[in-house]
A and B are shown apart, each in its own frame.
Chain A
Amino acid sequence: MADRHLAADTPELRARWDAFEFSPAWKAKADKAIAQYPEGRQKSAVMALLDYAQRQVGEETNTQGWLPLPVMEYVARYLDMPIIRVVEVATFYFMYNLVPVGKFHVQVCGTTPCMLRGSDAIMSACKARGMSVGHTTDDGMWTLTEVECMGNCATAPMVQINDDNYEDLTPERLDAVLDALAKGETPKAGTQEPGRHTSEPSGGPSTLKDMVSENHDYRGEW
């Protein structure tokens, strides 16, 4: 994701976000995060606060949320730390969106295991629905990003949409998920393969079969 960049510091941006403040609900969470650290170490809560700020921005804009510069400045003031240190954190982690995103941020994993299991087809399926990498669709619904490994290699290929992972995807299954999301439904997160619960071996266990029913002691058989 080499094209990450900060949104331009325009008068419009300032006009929209300069007055940003945590709503009471998020403020309570923020203060709780700060309270986890010793006095004087409030800066340690910067990652949590940036996340809360992003989520509140998301609520206000009905998207996944992002971090406009004035919001980062607000977080810096809130934690009494230099703004450049906040921006360093926000630009380092990909989970912080630096530019506006859509209601659903579709992050397709393209790292080797997912690629071997067909992430190219997933990417094509997304593109077929009008998304393009690094952009938000005109209706403000979908933002497509290609990301590196999300740690779901056992259920590859996968996408992450906002806070949920959708795994074991095929273009058809992805379409079903996206259709459901578009309709405002909440599709089942996790693996989309019928009969599979989480990341257990697909089609039943191939080793340690005796462990399925009980805690079998294999040591005598070694």
Chain B
Amino acid sequence: MPKLTVDGVEIEVPAGATVLQACELAGKEIPRFCYHERLSIAGNCRMCLVEVKPGPPKPQASCALPAAEGQEIRTDSEMVKKAREGVMEFLLINHPLDCPICDQGGECDLQDQSVAYGRGGSRYHENKRAVTEKYMGPLIKTVMTRCIHCTRCVRFSEEIAGVDEIGALYRGENMQITTYLEQAAKHELSANVIDLCPVGALTSRPYAFEARPWELKKTLSIDVSDAVGANIRLDSRGREVLRALPRINDDVNEEWLSDKGRYMVDGLTRRRLDKVWIRKAGKLAEADWADAFEAIAAAKPGNSIAAIAGDMVDCETMYAAKALLGALGSDLLEGRQTGMDYDVSNLAAVNFNSTLAGIETADAVLVVGSHVRWEAPLVNVRLRKAWKNGAKIFFVGPEFDPTYPATFLGNDLSVLGKLPKDVAEAFKSAERPAIIVGGAALAKGALAPALALAEKLKIVKDGWNGFNVLHFSAARMGGLMLGYAQQGGIADIAAAKPKVVLFLGADEVDFSQFADSLKVYIGHHGDKGAHAADIILPAAAFSEKDGTYVNTEGRVQFAEKAVFAPGDAREDWTILRALADALGVSVGFDSFEQLQAAMIAAVPALGVEGLADYGALPKADAKAKVEGMIEAYPIKDFYLTNPIARASVVMQECSAELLHGDDVREAAE
């Protein structure tokens, strides 16, 4: 713990800290461009110069200088001021100063820091360097003349994303940041370089010239594109969400966000259900709310009514539907749309127990049936970190490129019963072993054998529970907490032959099994569910309602409403409340607050933000066995997994170009 002084104030800093961090601890702002907490230190922008004694009588780059005992650091001296002005002047020599037409304007590090630390004006009258634009795919817009060569994007793609695709070519003033042959950046986190870029060189292509940051209303929300529950900020103007940006939460998403979570928001204004529709003689016809409620009441469901929750619904909606069904005397609730029927009697067994932050400390990981890179890109980043810290990672399932070296043990699930020797040894010597069970394995009934294996491998230790289930539906854990699960899965509901089925934004169901039921779709996008429905009640998307979500590690998080739903669409709970009246029952709430209070009274854990406690793992059935092969992962197309993404033009472009680009090119040839 070195003791040093910053501007005359003595402080003690943790061992291994840099001078820059020491200054920050002392409350001093150090301007920087290339330094980033989550990336390696490059030390090439020189903006963080400070005066350090003892040392050479010249300013030193604080980001790359270790803090040491007895250092006297000055950030306020004339030398530092001059150094910063000098560096800033050099950086601006080749910067175009086109702020009025630059999308970074208003949230630009270079802009802010040149105001704060630069000279008043320019003394440079020569020609400036110009660099051609570089194509980096449908998400990243480049104006490389603005690049100041901080190399954050290069370091991100190499260190965090794990795909070396961005590089710095040539040298000196000719240095250019590009991808090889200007190929599109093919990675699920590629757009994070836009946030990292301290200038306007890499900006968001879909958001280009849309808005200025100061025009936008900022709403704290939760990403529903996967079960990680990344913390996001929705920037909206008027009735439209213009962009989603990650918020920093070290426990969940650090400061990254998957491309899908970031760019599916343009789908919020497309293919929306904004009117009530009723199917008449096989064709959907426009109707009004009263007709629709009348039609549902006319079906006289009684207690023969079921509710199936989709992947993106909030807990309040699910609780409102549960209350409605409860009032009618039914408990036919299910959220696992594709027919999975794993045992949910103990929620700890279907939870990501090691926590997302914890998995990066694991030293041996067995992933069973999960295409982690697509099902939860942010978990894959954690696994990559674990590998960097020396973890051995094994996969059961079809091979894919996880961005770090991993051993694929084949598609046969019976390997769980008889691990290869090297895997068994890796787990034997591991202090923090972990198993991750994915959707493909759950569907094959591998949960019980995985639990048995966990017990055999002593996955649960003092202060460590490495048994993880990785879901990819944002509604899953909340749904399970609210009882959205039947013993036999959705098949039980089909077998009960309900007269009315409420589909709460459920689009992935096999609707043919409910051919004889009145299918009521309460959702926001004209997707598969709406196509199959008899009655469509337009509802709100995640951005248009307050709601509670529980991520795959059981973290209860609250999302706020950013904009109003379009047209006749209403918040889901109000629809269900009105439906209760139509069906002549009382659900016991008249406002969102009452609904939330009732939900929290029923499931107290949903009222506390943070990790829910599901207790210990159940006793495993040592005889549990699983046979069969994992033929494929459930996600076929990373960019088109939910109705919002399918409606999004940007996601369709990404899918076409990044995933099917080669097919298209071959077809054209």
Give the B-binding residues of A (Cβ under 8 A): 2, 4, 6, 9, 69, 81-85, 87-88, 91-92
Contact A92 B164 (CB under 8 A): no
B170 within 8 A of A: yes
Q: Quick one: closest A residue to B164, CB to CB?
A: A82
Of the candidates B170, B171, B179, which one forms a contact with A84 in the assembled complex, judged by CB atoms under 8 Å apart? B179
Contact B174 A84 (CB under 8 A): no
Q: Once the chains are docked, how many angstroms separate the CA of A83 from the CA of B167?
A: 10
Give the A-binding residues of B (Cβ under 8 A): 164-171, 173-174, 179-181
Known: A87-B167, A92-B171. 4 other contacts (CB 8 A): A4-B174, A83-B180, A85-B164, A87-B180
18 residue pairs bridging A and B, Cβ less than 8 Å apart? A4-B170, A4-B174, A6-B169, A69-B181, A82-B165, A83-B180, A84-B164, A84-B166, A84-B167, A84-B180, A85-B164, A85-B167, A87-B167, A87-B169, A87-B180, A88-B168, A91-B169, A91-B170
Residue numbers in A under 8 Å from B181 (CB-CB): 9, 69
**B439 to A: closest C-beta gap in Å:** 31
Q: Once the chains are docked, how many angstroms separate the CA of A6 from the CA of B165?
A: 17
Residue numbers in A under 8 Å from B180 (CB-CB): 83-84, 87
**A67 to B: closest C-beta gap in Å:** 13
Contact A88 B174 (CB under 8 A): no
The 10 closest A-B pairs by CB, nearest first: A82-B164, A84-B167, A91-B169, A84-B180, A88-B167, A91-B170, A92-B171, A83-B180, A84-B164, A2-B174
Interface-central residue, A82, A88, A92, by most chain B CB under 10 Å: A88
**A41 to B: closest C-beta gap in Å:** 15
Interface-central residue, A2, A83, A84, A85, by most chain B CB under 10 Å: A84
Q: Once the chains are docked, how many angstroms separate the CA of A87 from the CA of B165?
A: 11
Residue numbers in A under 8 Å from B173 (CB-CB): 2
Q: Once the chains are docked, how many angstroms separate the CA of A3 from the CA of B411?
A: 52
**B436 to A: closest C-beta gap in Å:** 27
Residue numbers in A under 8 Å from B167 (CB-CB): 84-85, 87-88
Q: Once the chains are docked, how many angstroms separate the CA of A4 from the CA of B171?
A: 10
Q: Quick one: closest B residue to A73, CB to CB?
A: B180
**A148 to B: closest C-beta gap in Å:** 11
Interface-central residue, B165, B166, B174, B180, by most chain A CB under 10 Å: B180
Residue numbers in A under 8 Å from B169 (CB-CB): 6, 87-88, 91-92
Q: Quick one: closest B residue to A3, CB to CB?
A: B174
**A133 to B: closest C-beta gap in Å:** 17
**A2 to B: closest C-beta gap in Å:** 6
Residue numbers in B under 8 Å from A84 (CB-CB): 164-167, 179-180
Of the candidates A6, A9, A91, which one forms a contact with B171 in the assembled complex, judged by CB atoms under 8 Å apart? A91
Residue numbers in B under 8 Å from A88 (CB-CB): 167-169
Q: Once the chains are docked, how many angstroms separate the CA of A85 from the CA of B163?
A: 11
**A129 to B: closest C-beta gap in Å:** 29
Residue numbers in B under 8 Å from A2 (CB-CB): 173-174
Q: Quick one: closest A residue to B178, CB to CB?
A: A84
**A8 to B: closest C-beta gap in Å:** 10
**B547 to A: closest C-beta gap in Å:** 42
Q: Once the chains are docked, how many angstroms separate the CA of A92 from the CA of B164?
A: 17
**A175 to B: closest C-beta gap in Å:** 33
**B656 to A: closest C-beta gap in Å:** 22
Residue numbers in A under 8 Å from B170 (CB-CB): 4, 91-92
**B156 to A: closest C-beta gap in Å:** 14
Residue numbers in A under 8 Å from B171 (CB-CB): 91-92
Q: Once the chains are docked, how many angstroms separate the CA of A87 from the CA of B182?
A: 12
Q: Once the chains are docked, how many angstroms separate the CA of A30 from the CA of B526?
A: 60
Q: Once the chains are docked, how many angstroms separate the CA of A6 from the CA of B181?
A: 9
**A78 to B: closest C-beta gap in Å:** 16
Residue numbers in B under 8 Å from A87 (CB-CB): 167, 169, 180
**B431 to A: closest C-beta gap in Å:** 25
**B142 to A: closest C-beta gap in Å:** 15
Q: Once the chains are docked, how many angstroms separate the CA of A85 from the CA of B168?
A: 9
Q: Quick one: closest A residue to B169, CB to CB?
A: A91
Residue numbers in B under 8 Å from A91 (CB-CB): 169-171
Residue numbers in B under 8 Å from A9 (CB-CB): 181
Q: Once the chains are docked, how many angstroms separate the CA of A82 from the CA of B165?
A: 8
Q: Once the chains are docked, how many angstroms separate the CA of A85 from the CA of B164?
A: 8
Q: Quick one: closest A residue to B168, CB to CB?
A: A88
Q: Once the chains are docked, how many angstroms separate the CA of A48 from the CA of B95?
A: 36
Q: Quick one: closest A residue to B167, CB to CB?
A: A84
**B169 to A: closest C-beta gap in Å:** 4
**A73 to B: closest C-beta gap in Å:** 9
**A95 to B: closest C-beta gap in Å:** 12
Residue numbers in B under 8 Å from A92 (CB-CB): 169-171
Q: Once the chains are docked, how many angstroms separate the CA of A38 from the CA of B181?
A: 31
**A32 to B: closest C-beta gap in Å:** 26
Q: Once the chains are docked, how many angstroms separate the CA of A69 from the CA of B179?
A: 14
Residue numbers in B under 8 Å from A82 (CB-CB): 164-165
**A70 to B: closest C-beta gap in Å:** 11
**B94 to A: closest C-beta gap in Å:** 13
Q: Once the chains are docked, how many angstroms separate the CA of A26 from the CA of B495?
A: 72
Residue numbers in A under 8 Å from B174 (CB-CB): 2, 4
**A108 to B: closest C-beta gap in Å:** 20
Residue numbers in B under 8 Å from A6 (CB-CB): 169
**A76 to B: closest C-beta gap in Å:** 9
Q: Once the chains are docked, how many angstroms separate the CA of A84 from the CA of B181?
A: 9
**A59 to B: closest C-beta gap in Å:** 27
**A87 to B: closest C-beta gap in Å:** 6
Residue numbers in B under 8 Å from A81 (CB-CB): 164
Q: Once the chains are docked, how many angstroms separate the CA of A221 from the CA of B497?
A: 115
**B133 to A: closest C-beta gap in Å:** 15
Q: Quick one: closest B residue to A5, CB to CB?
A: B170
Q: Quick one: closest A residue to B129, CB to CB?
A: A2
Q: Once the chains are docked, how many angstroms separate the CA of A69 from the CA of B180?
A: 10
Interface-central residue, A9, A69, A81, A87, by most chain B CB under 10 Å: A87
**B438 to A: closest C-beta gap in Å:** 28
Residue numbers in A under 8 Å from B164 (CB-CB): 81-82, 84-85
**B344 to A: closest C-beta gap in Å:** 43
Q: Quick one: closest A residue to B171, CB to CB?
A: A92
Residue numbers in A under 8 Å from B166 (CB-CB): 84
**A71 to B: closest C-beta gap in Å:** 14
**B28 to A: closest C-beta gap in Å:** 35
Q: Quick one: closest A residue to B181, CB to CB?
A: A9
Q: Once the chains are docked, how many angstroms separate the CA of A88 from the CA of B164?
A: 12
Q: Once the chains are docked, how many angstroms separate the CA of A163 from the CA of B522?
A: 76
Residue numbers in A under 8 Å from B168 (CB-CB): 88
Q: Quick one: closest A residue to B165, CB to CB?
A: A84
Q: Once the chains are docked, how many angstroms separate the CA of A84 from the CA of B170?
A: 12
Q: Once the chains are docked, how many angstroms separate the CA of A178 from the CA of B174?
A: 32
**A135 to B: closest C-beta gap in Å:** 19
Q: Quick one: closest B residue to A93, CB to CB?
A: B171
Residue numbers in B under 8 Å from A69 (CB-CB): 181
Q: Quick one: closest B residue to A9, CB to CB?
A: B181
**B237 to A: closest C-beta gap in Å:** 38
Q: Once the chains are docked, how many angstroms separate the CA of A104 from the CA of B151?
A: 37
**B103 to A: closest C-beta gap in Å:** 26
Q: Once the chains are docked, how many angstroms separate the CA of A1 from the CA of B164?
A: 27
Q: Quick one: closest B residue to A4, CB to CB?
A: B170
Q: Quick one: closest A residue to B176, CB to CB?
A: A91
**B385 to A: closest C-beta gap in Å:** 20
Q: Once the chains are docked, how many angstroms separate the CA of A3 from the CA of B403?
A: 35
Q: Quick one: closest A residue to B157, CB to CB?
A: A84
Q: Once the chains are docked, how many angstroms separate the CA of A157 from the CA of B180?
A: 39
**A154 to B: closest C-beta gap in Å:** 26
